[in-house]
Structure 1
């Protein structure tokens, strides 16, 4: 409730605490709603992983074919980020987010109806295009609503979604759910439809701007004044997403090798732990400076590499899980630090393009090492040697990121 009173001829307005509380609750609700969208995108992305063993038994899908399917997803996602990453700056956030959710539903329906590898490829391409476009638009929308809490939500959502998708799919399989290759995707489709209904009711305050066609020119766009900050953040983002790619791509096979069990839940635990620990770190490290968070992310990555290497040498599953948990901490620190370093210096009209750039670096880190390692493992047939080689690459990435971060100084006037 607001009250007006006169002081020395001036009319002043006092806003009651009730209105402020209602406004805060409304803002929080919008942030939670929008943060659920990238979380769901990442959940639908990781949900197929435990199902590949089912596809292998039913259709004879090989590990090489699985790599091709994942590669199609990654290529489509990166293409969307490069071409459509800035489109929400011109068409409005809500329109783009709703459109990507509709395409995501279509992908789920193709997955559910799939009877072979071709349909999986189509579904993955649709999913990649939707996710790439949607991540940039939602990330910018969260910053539009509340810059500080938007950065936190952007940092927390990927881990939450990845963990829920992989573990939820695995639990349905282990529980003997009927036709899991359909049920998993139909459940996802229902959640996405609820999100479409909710987002369509959200009032989008982002003005439409001319230049939508010119924004489709492929490329990454960074304002000159923040390129030094991006240069410091990108190597860390690349590295921490690469360690997530390790547990996503090789976690199930490493778990089977270490335990002799083909339990889908056990196979999903490593990537689920990464996803569970990362948002906890994100929410609990608000007082750390961005650079310190990036340093902790690098240290977490190195510790995870050491623990995972020990797990492979000694043959202990608990060490693999410990490595995944520490990797999750490094992921949380690194992603939060990268967001906090770069995004405060970005203007409203630059948010979608900058989010697209950060996600491009992240997904190149997530996809390229995992795909390359999959090719090596398929050629050699040696899972342990391939995983150890992957860990060596991760260690080199961490050292490189630390060197770049040490040499980079923040531009005058930025807070890090």
Structure 2
């Protein structure tokens, strides 16, 4: 049985970047990914400046920025007028923007870098069956199309998503909180004239967000209110792929922007929930990304948080492996890492909840008060703080 320095369970964007960061440090890594094919759905699109720093460590930042749309400004609108702007020009000395790129392209760029750093390390179509911790290693057994798979590792990183089989196997509790908010989103041809700005419409019936993407595409994200139509087959939009026509109608009704649903290249619907693991380290196994913390996607922090987990844990694992080849494990070695990440995730989760609250339907009086308050915040020096918050400078 081959013993690797690290086995990463989960070959999504977080797991692949984690493996690339470890490989760049000269470690022997393997990645087990359950899905046989690379996903084509692009949910996450925003890559924040701190994440670009992390991607730069494995040579992925510049290729990504070359393809992405640099979003240098966010615009808040309500009731047909502009409340103010958030400029990212001071968010980072090298990356004064949020890079917007479809997730499937981001993942492909990361896989390319992993293959260059550790050829053949990503293995698709492998499902984890059991995980057993021994004093000096972790034994993993799985199933692939061609039969059973076994491996051993000094450490395991679990990047296997919000429902994390690894977390379940370890018996780690992750309380789930569901929110009533339901969203639909659609990528369409961008004829809005909004350029490279991200625009948030805080309307009485609910928020409409839009973001530029490469190829003359714009993503619209719409909060559904109680009057939102059901889909053509009678199901609610979070239970089926929503109609582009329905999304286009909601965008037009709330913002006055007309979009062509016939140009839609992607539609999706999602609810919102928060799931925070009570602990993220169990012996030689560390949970990262959604396996450790699932927060609201509003604000675009989720994938970036997972990348920051990977960046923080990589040097800790490298140091542990330098000590007697990783055979002896100091139980306190991950303590500082875990505490720091818990604080960061807590801040991000609170920020995501504030973002959701600001976008919910309101009555006339509250709507006016919201406009006045936001307009003031966006014209005072506080707008610099908002730029830092929304670019994840403090995470």
Q: More helix per residue: 1 or 2? A: 1
TM-based fold match above 0.5 = no
TM-score category, normalised to shorter length: under 0.3
TM-score by length of 1: 0.26
TM-score by length of 2: 0.27
